[in-house]
Amino acid sequence: MTDVTKINDVISLERVDSVALVCIDNPPVNASAQSVRAGLVQAIDAANADDAVEVIAIYAAGRTFVAGADIREFGKPPLSPSLPDAINHIEASAKPVISAPHGTALGGGLEICMGTHARVGVKGLRVGLPEINLGLLPGAGGTQRGPRLMGMKHTLDMALTGNMVSGEDALAWGLIDRLEDGAPRDVALAGARAVLDGTLATRRTSDLPVTVDEEALAAARAMVAKKMANLDSAPMVIEAVERSTGDVKEGMVFERECFMACLKTASGRGMQHAFFAERAVAKIPEAGATPRPVEKIGVIGGGTMGSGIATAALTSGLAVRLIEISQEGLDKGVGFITKNLDGAVKRGKMSAEKRDAAMARLEPSTDMETLADVDLVIEAVFENMDVKKDIFGQLDKICKAGAVLASNTSYLNVDEIAAATSRAEDVIGLHFFSPANIMKLLEVVVAEKTAPEVVATGFALAKKMRKIAVRAGVCDGFIGNRILAYYGKTAGYLMEDGASPEQIDTALENFGFAMGPYKVGDLAGLDIGWANRKRMAATRPNEERYVRIHDKICETGAYGRKTGSGFYIYDEGDIRPNPVALKIIDEERAAKGITPGDFTDQEIVDRYMTAMISEAARVVEEGIALRPIDVDAVFLFGYGFPRFRGGPLKYADEIGATEIVKRIETYAKDDPYYWKVPAILRRMAEDGSTFADLNDK
Ligand code: 3H9
């Protein structure tokens, strides 16, 4: 016989004979919010008080078991009971408690399982301790119970990488006891019955011994020192795991202190902001529109960009028709794609069979007419408006009705491109980042007449291609390249005024960027910016200070890595400053009568970041980005912005608008044309509001 009691909105208790089934139902991901924690405690108490109950089993409804603590509660006053207390209560239950996780048991979700007396996973289960990705460490016993169940090495690996592992691995490591097929409720019930008939053993994890693994601890320390120096929580993971050899309760007190301390760190706030940024960008005005079906796409241009886009599309299961004008260009494009896919196989990212199937979906052609049957075309030829207009004019005649016509332009006016067709509503910008088969970001550029379902199609395509799409409006360079063009000038001014490219790069790398701007420029190719500056030369205002160093370096034929030199010389893995570039810098300073000054690394970072924030503020002000968090996402996923800082506008909030305005006003004394306070920042400095306030609107 069964009867179900609702403990509260999210927890129910069902009795089936002598088994008490506790169900967690807190959509979308069963986060362990206060109601879940309180409900679990009450359910355990109720089941213990019911004489008919012999075993308790916890499972969850919906698509996943508990995906962790409720991240939205972080930073708010703690609500009782805490998750560690709730889990300790479960572990202390007089009657045996088992858990039957399905989907993903992550962070606090996995820690709930660790606190039960046995774990029966549902096949397909993945588990992990992803707290590190939020700038935290497991805070509900994971660092203490993990080593007792699976040893120090696996606990450290899980907690320091944040990677999910399969149920099969979890079983092999002893983290779970069984892996069964079936619906979570059925698996939970069968597991409880196995406890009753003595075929599934139960024990308290806290009672198990821990073996010290010096080798794993040393490897973890070395890895953290080398790769995770900016994350406050990383060394704490190791220290907490190290303490697991003592009493669990004491270890948990230490773990909790570390967890609470991490919540207050800027790196924790930055990482949590980045987590939400990745998801917030999907909230667009066109979210309700139905995307058009896309199965076959056309890619025009077989250069680095076009072949990267084609690779990403093929990898995601789409059929691709690749167009080039000449057979030679086409062969080159197919060669790039083959190399990209072979590389994925070599790195273990793709099976050889999948690569062969992807290549079979590629149809190269020199005939534009073959684009007649594709659902969407991405034009990825070089940045020239006349060429693009000509191509879109042709596409207008060739493509079927309803096909989406996209340009991968990184700067140009999509309204103007759309005007070359008779169907502006079908035209959109899809700005991929190089290498397009690797980089996560896709700017979806919405032109004046773009139809809502075309925007929705761009976002759906991004999802299929595992990209993070950010909605952008039309302006020169959209969100990312527009801001880059602006703060890139500051780096040039700093260089002309006395800082070396190497000093600027090092200062910004120490700030957290994977690579400084001059190394990035060399990697991307200095000729790209050069071409763009030539395009803009006629419209450059006379008042603007112009640094000619980059152009002069390009004039020597040094375009960066691809030519072996740029700001640096690239010699078989060795990188050193290029003396030719340094000589040009000296000559330019002399020609302008500049006596080189000294800049500290902090001054470099402050000027660079203030410039980035100023232009980002204008991009928000003008509605080019929907919200500040969209700008943050662009920089996190397309420009190597340090994740632990959350993005330029999250960083701006950390500094505060008053300080930023003060800096701009100080810099403006030397260059009032370049340094102007954006109205939005002025207002924030006056009323104390933040960019975060605009995200919440
Ligand atoms: C922790 O557990 C600390 C403990 O050790 C100690 C505590 C004392 N909270 O990703 P999706 C939202 S730290 C609140 O698109 P998917 C998400 O924002 C936590 N909300 O789905 C989104 O909302 P919206 C450790 C959360 O199917 C919606 O759910 N856990 C949380 O692609 C759907 O999310 C993690 O770090 C949360 N914990 O992927 C796991 N998680 O629709 C984080 C998600 O309004 N979560 N949301 O934008 C994930 O990795 C993925 O969400 C998951 C599902 C793989 C579960």
CATH of the domain at 364: 3.40.50.720
Which of 427-430's residues contact partners 24+ apart within 8 Å by CB, and which partners? 427/392, 427/454, 428/404, 428/454, 428/455, 428/457, 428/458, 429/472, 429/474, 429/478, 430/378, 430/406, 430/458, 430/461
Together in a domain, 433 and 523: no
Are 107 and 233 contacting, i.e. CB atoms less than 8 angstroms apart?
no
Together in a domain, 469 and 338: yes
Of 450, 478, 506, the one marking the end of a domain is 478
Listed in sequence order, the residues at least 6 apart from 278 whose beta carbon sits closer than 8 Å to its beta carbon are: 468, 633, 636, 637
Together in a domain, 232 and 306: no
Taking the C-alpha atoms of residue 504 and residue 605, their distance in angstroms, rounded to an integer, is: 8
* Ligand 1 centroid from CA 38, angstroms: 20
Of the candidates 122, 85, 79, the residue with the CA atom closest to the CA atom of residue 103: 122
Q: Which atom of ligand 1 is nearest to the CA of 28?
A: 29
Together in a domain, 303 and 167: no
Q: Which atom of ligand 1 is nearest to the CA of 256?
A: 8
Are 479 and 433 contacting, i.e. CB atoms less than 8 angstroms apart?
no
Could you tell me if residue 290 is inside a domain?
Answer: no
Together in a domain, 417 and 495: no
* Ligand 1 centroid from CA 72, angstroms: 10
Q: Which atom of ligand 1 is nearest to the CA of 142?
A: 5
At 573 the pLDDT is 81
Together in a domain, 506 and 544: yes
Q: Which atom of ligand 1 is nearest to the CA of 108?
A: 2
If one counts the domains in the chain, the total is 3
Extract the runs of DSSP E, i.e. beta strands, from 392-497: 404-407, 427-432, 441-446, 468-473
Tell how strand 404-407 and strand 441-446 pair up: unpaired
Together in a domain, 586 and 631: yes
Are 400 and 373 contacting, i.e. CB atoms less than 8 angstroms apart?
yes
Could you tell me if residue 289 is inside a domain?
Answer: no
* pTM, to two decimals: 0.91
Give the H or E element holding residue 146. helix 142-161
Token pair 């993903």 is found at 104
At 2 the pLDDT is 62
At 1 the pLDDT is 47
Taking the C-alpha atoms of residue 508 and residue 496, their distance in angstroms, rounded to an integer, is: 17
Could you tell me if residue 533 is inside a domain?
Answer: yes
Residue 107 belongs to domain with CATH number: 3.90.226.10
Ligand 1 neighbours (beta carbon < 6 A): 28-29, 31, 64, 67-72, 83, 104, 106-108, 111, 130-131, 134, 136, 138-140, 142, 259, 279
Residue 571 belongs to domain with CATH number: 1.10.1040.50
Extract the runs of DSSP E, i.e. beta strands, from 541-614: 568-571, 574-577
Among protein residues, the one with the nearest Cα to ligand 1's atom 43 is 67
Tell how strand 97-99 and strand 319-323 pair up: unpaired
Q: Which of 29, 73, 463, 627 to mutate to test the pocket of ligand 1 (most atoms within 8 A of CB)?
A: 29
Of the candidates 8, 169, 200, 7, the residue with the CA atom closest to the CA atom of residue 96: 200
Taking the C-alpha atoms of residue 688 and residue 276, their distance in angstroms, rounded to an integer, is: 23
Of 451, 478, 505, the one marking the end of a domain is 478
Of 218, 246, 264, the one marking the end of a domain is 264
Could you tell me if residue 173 is inside a domain?
Answer: yes
Q: How far is CA 201 from CA 16, 114, 193, 331, 580, in A?
A: 20, 15, 11, 63, 73
Taking the C-alpha atoms of residue 66 and residue 457, their distance in angstroms, rounded to an integer, is: 32
Name the burial class of residue 51, with classes exposed (0-12), middle (13-18) and buried (19+) by CB atoms within 10 angstroms of its CB: exposed
At what angle are helices 83-91 and 108-115 packed, to 10 degrees? 20
Neighbours of 13 (CB within 10 A): 22
Could you tell me if residue 132 is inside a domain?
Answer: yes
**Residue numbers in the chain where pLDDT is lower than 70:** 1-2
> Is 131 marked active-site?
yes
Of the candidates 93, 137, 141, the residue with the CA atom closest to the CA atom of residue 118: 93
Together in a domain, 364 and 468: yes
Together in a domain, 161 and 195: yes
Tell how strand 319-323 and strand 165-166 pair up: unpaired
Tell how strand 19-24 and strand 11-16 pair up: antiparallel
Could you tell me if residue 377 is inside a domain?
Answer: yes
Among protein residues, the one with the nearest Cα to ligand 1's atom 42 is 279
> Is 111 marked active-site?
yes
Together in a domain, 534 and 578: yes
Together in a domain, 144 and 34: yes
3-state secondary structure of 375: coil
Could you tell me if residue 341 is inside a domain?
Answer: yes
3-state secondary structure of 15: strand
* Ligand 1 centroid from CA 67, angstroms: 6
What is the greatest pairwise CA distance in the chain?
Answer: 92
Could you tell me if residue 513 is inside a domain?
Answer: yes
Asked if residue 672 has a cis previous peptide bond (ω within 30° of 0), the answer is no
At 77 the pLDDT is 87
Q: Where are the alpha helices (DSSP H) in 593-678?
A: 601-621, 628-638, 648-655, 657-668
* Ligand 1 centroid from CA 275, angstroms: 9
Of the candidates 288, 285, 56, the residue with the CA atom closest to the CA atom of residue 191: 56
Of the candidates 147, 136, 152, 154, the residue with the CA atom closest to the CA atom of residue 234: 136
Together in a domain, 252 and 316: no
DSSP states along 27-87: TTTT-B-HHHHHHHHHHHHHHHH-TT--EEEEEE-SS-S--SB-GGGTTSPP-SSPHHHHH
Neighbours of 42 (CB within 10 A): 17
* Ligand 1 centroid from CA 28, angstroms: 9
The domain of 470 spans 296-478
Are 305 and 430 contacting, i.e. CB atoms less than 8 angstroms apart?
no
Helix, strand, coil percentages (3-state) for the chain, rounded to 5, are: 55, 15, 35
pLDDT digits (tens, 9 = 90+) for 590-625: 999 999 999 999 999 999 999 999 999 999 999 999
